[in-house]
Amino acid sequence: MRTVLPLATITAASMLTMDLYLPAVPTMQLDLGITVAQGQLTIAIFLLGLAASQLVWGELLHRIGPRRCVQTGLLALILTSFGCALAPDLTMLLGLRLVQGIAAGAATVVVPTVVRATLPEQDGVRGIAAIAMIEAIVPAAGPVLGTALLLIADWRTTFAIIGVIALASAPFALRATPVALPSQGDADGDEGGGEGGRVGYRALLRNWHFVGLALAHALSFGALITFVASAPQVLPALANTGQSGFALAQGCGVAGFIVAASQAGRISNRLGPRHAIQLGALLHGLLCTALLAAWWADRLSYPWLLAFWTAFCAVLGIRGPTAFSEALSEPTAQLGRASALMVLALLAVGALATQATAPFLPGGQLGAVALSMSLLCWASCALVARYPDKQASVRARQRPEQEQARL
């Protein structure tokens, strides 16, 4: 807990730069006299900076160390947050939001890397699950708090509060972040890098164990984002729930995820990481197929949808931390790069899946969402169905060496 909780605070501060700010966009547009499209650009440019920075932070982590990465990221996050609060026009705000997105990327790379590198395997799964629970709570609570804040303050105060939170969390996060990652070899005793001692992104992309897990996890995350991004458009028409229907669905999904994630380490330890991931992928495919079948048969009701979404998020709460921890079972010299590639894959697949589904929403409604989620989840299931067991691969490589040693 001394490692996870302080690091979780910088993760929360980084996420608030998006979730606490979202409700303030309309008031910001009125204050600066800009259009809706220009207001939305402040969101898009932040996400661009976040995505583009992943590979950079992954490389810097191994060159300057995790603590200096956190120092740099937090300093930039603090300065840009207060800068956004004082921005006189849209041009200045856009530039600051771009740098703010780059600064927020430090937490997404450094935090899971430090947790995975400094904790034993089972505790690593628990630690990543705890971070994931924070990441689930902030998107649910952030917009609510941001809306309440606008009752007593303006949009500039939102950014000032983010800066204060980042500043207050800095001493605790820096104390919990090591100067350098611990020197620990992987299962086959190679401390220096990937296969054959190679390091770098190219070596990771040649590692099927990592690539298969990263793509499979990104596809399941893409299914999640497809539902979240589409639900405000399609749920109001279901049983006349209005926008409150989306809010309730989000609450149920977050609750299911948190409850399940709290048990992810225990379940992974009992079933084994490989089987826990495979079971989660299979359950995701079956759940989405059931959603599609219910829509096709015109039997889809709002209570049934709530049950589906709660179950889907609960399965992700078990599968997600286990998959992330398993994918990061790389040599220490590659951990930061592996984490960066994982997050970049999540962001890219989520964006592509959302955009691919959007044109079909007006006609297909929930059917288009259910079909997209089913395709993504079954593709994810296919990737992990026979993905290599890393420990078995290590034993296979070691066997000829052991036989040669005996001879």
Residue-range definition of the domain harbouring residue 33? 4-182
What pLDDT was estimated at residue 236? 67
Residues 140 and 9 in one domain: yes
How many domains in the chain?
2
Report the pLDDT averaged over residues 339-359. Answer: 84
Q: Maximum distance among all alpha carbons in the chain?
A: 81
What pLDDT was estimated at residue 385? 87
Residues 308 and 166 in one domain: no
The residue that leads in pLDDT, 392 or 335, is: 335
Radius of gyration of the chain (CA): 22
Whether residue 194 is contained in a domain is answered as: no
Q: What is the mean pLDDT of the chain?
A: 82
Whether residue 264 is contained in a domain is answered as: yes
Q: Check whether 406 has a pLDDT greater than 70.
A: no
Residues 283 and 222: their CA atoms lie apart, in Å, by: 16
pLDDT digits 0-9 by tens, 218-265:
999 889 888 887 776 677 666 566 556 767 787 888 889 888 888 888
Whether residue 189 is contained in a domain is answered as: no
The residue that leads in pLDDT, 123 or 271, is: 271
Residues 281 and 158 in one domain: no
Of 76, 64, 83, the closest CA to residue 14 belongs to: 76
- The CATH code of the domain that includes 64 is 1.20.1250.20
Whether residue 376 is contained in a domain is answered as: yes
Q: Quick one: residue 372, left, alpha or beta (phi over 0 = left, psi -120 to 50 = alpha)?
A: alpha
Residues 162 and 42 in one domain: yes
pLDDT digits 0-9 by tens, 40-88:
788 888 888 888 899 999 999 988 999 999 999 999 999 999 999 999 9
Residues 153 and 231 in one domain: no
What pLDDT was estimated at residue 374? 95
The packing angle between helices 335-357 and 366-385, to 10°, is 150
Residues 127 and 251 in one domain: no
Residues 145 and 55 in one domain: yes
pLDDT band at 395 (very low <50, low <70, confident <90, very high): very low
**How crowded is residue 343: how many other Cβ atoms within 10 Å of its Cβ?**
24
Residues 229 and 403: their CA atoms lie apart, in Å, by: 55
Residues 238 and 362 in one domain: yes
Residues 216 and 136 in one domain: no
What is the Cβ-side half-sphere exposure of residue 337, based on CA atoms within 13 angstroms? 21
- Residues 6+ away with beta carbon under 8 Å from 23: 143, 146, 147, 149, 150
